[in-house]
Structure 1
């Protein structure tokens, strides 16, 4: 009986250990830093004169009537703008609750990282002077546009359109990477891929409606992953010292 109890306790301790937070290797952070710097350079180049954004947005703009025909499209609004976002929020909430119930620090942290990614993009968007395409003069609005790093002009409009808030709802799925990396690395990277695909698809749906330029969504993904990597590094380091 004593041996059986000891085996049970050992198994329980192993389970607790495998579900606790773990620090990622320094090589991981080095690769991510290099990748983020390179992506920032590419995204900055694409945003330099808004030519790339206008090319994609132009496909969905009707110059004759000066409006975006799909702006109020029921399917884009219901499926892409509402249901997709609510589903991902539900996934994050369920991950948090299940992780708390199972005392799984990895799942709890991953869920919190998902919330952090959305919070960071939301905060940046709230102070942005960049207006959405459908608010701009050239697309039937009355706001003046300007390049990403250009001086803010007069009459820049309502702003609050950079980075892409809606696409960040898809990108935050990348946070689940940190729940699975040690035991199931392939699944972990699948979570990153799923987040990228969801963010780009959801973001492009907003491009079709005239709600965002495509580069706004690229930068949303950048900020989500940057914040998640940095936050996990700080959190896991702190727990490792306890």
Structure 2
């Protein structure tokens, strides 16, 4: 009788449950594949024609001085290039440590996916021969521009400007989607929208400074989301087997 009472008391004690990873349905990956392919076609067209890029960049370029007036603007640099980036990184760090503290594997994985997205863009950027607008001949520099997927000319300049690295710091917030999709899908998609808004806003700030073309930021968002979806699919499938 005493043993039964003891077991009853133990059953009432709070337990620390681990929130495990879960696989997403196959249709989710099918939809994402279709959307990513469609966006890749559109972004490739925009990058090769360069019409939209040059129209937007031309608005922020002063032909009289052959410079971008906002290139060294302290307020734009502080708010967009520094503060916004630090906030996004801090959000990922908080998600990582809080997820580890509460044994929430979903939140930890989502935080790591944020890093994966930014890393993917950083690697591609480091091997790119495309130079930034402020380095190009048509904007007062010395480097020669060339369309996406074309052969890089010998005088392509310093390169390392495609995709948009700074924009990826905003886009990486989309990784938090994978922590909430099952239990709070509206919140999950809201975080995707937040990541898109942050990435586009942070990327456009760089366009204003002459640091990137607009299409560079679109491709940054594409690579961040593609890498996050792909890595989560592989990781969740592995843990499902385990």
Match of 1:160 in 2: 160
Which whole-Å CA distance do the structure 2 matches of 1:8 and 1:29 have between them? 40
Match of 1:33 in 2: 33
Instruction: Quote the RMSD (CA, aligned, Å).
Output: 1.1
Match of 2:227 in 1: 227
Report how far residue 52 of structure 1 moved. Answer: 1.2
State the SS of the aligned residue for 1:70.
Answer: coil
* Residues 1:105 and 2:105 aligned together: yes
How do 1:74-113 residues align onto structure 2 when only pairs under 5 Å count? 74-113=74-113
Which whole-Å CA distance do the structure 1 matches of 2:100 and 2:48 have between them? 45
Which whole-Å CA distance do the structure 2 matches of 1:215 and 1:134 have between them? 15
Which whole-Å CA distance do the structure 1 matches of 2:37 and 2:13 have between them? 48
Match of 1:5 in 2: 10
Match of 1:191 in 2: 191
Match of 1:240 in 2: 240
| Length-normalised TM-score, structure 1 | 0.96
Match of 2:20 in 1: 20
Report how far residue 103 of structure 1 moved. Answer: 1.0
| Length-normalised TM-score, structure 2 | 0.96
Deviations 1:149-179 (A, max 9, x none): 1110111000000000000000000000000
Query: 214-223 or 48-57: which moved more?
Result: 48-57
Match of 2:150 in 1: 150
How do 1:170-185 residues align onto structure 2 when only pairs under 5 Å count? 170-185=170-185
* Structure number, greater radius of gyration: 2
Report how far residue 3 of structure 1 moved. Answer: 2.7
Which whole-Å CA distance do the structure 2 matches of 1:108 and 1:4 have between them? 33
Match of 2:64 in 1: 64
Report how far residue 50 of structure 1 moved. Answer: 1.1
Report how far residue 4 of structure 1 moved. Answer: 4.1
Match of 1:118 in 2: 118
Deviations 1:99-152 (A, max 9, x none): 111111001100100000010000000000000000000000000000011110
Which whole-Å CA distance do the structure 2 matches of 1:98 and 1:229 have between them? 22
Structure 1: state its 5+ residue gaps.
none
Query: 124-133 or 97-106: which moved more?
Result: 97-106
Which whole-Å CA distance do the structure 2 matches of 1:29 and 1:49 have between them? 30
Moved over 3 A (4+): none
Report how far residue 51 of structure 1 moved. Answer: 1.3
Report how far residue 29 of structure 1 moved. Answer: 0.4
Match of 1:133 in 2: 133
Structure 2: state its 5+ residue gaps.
none
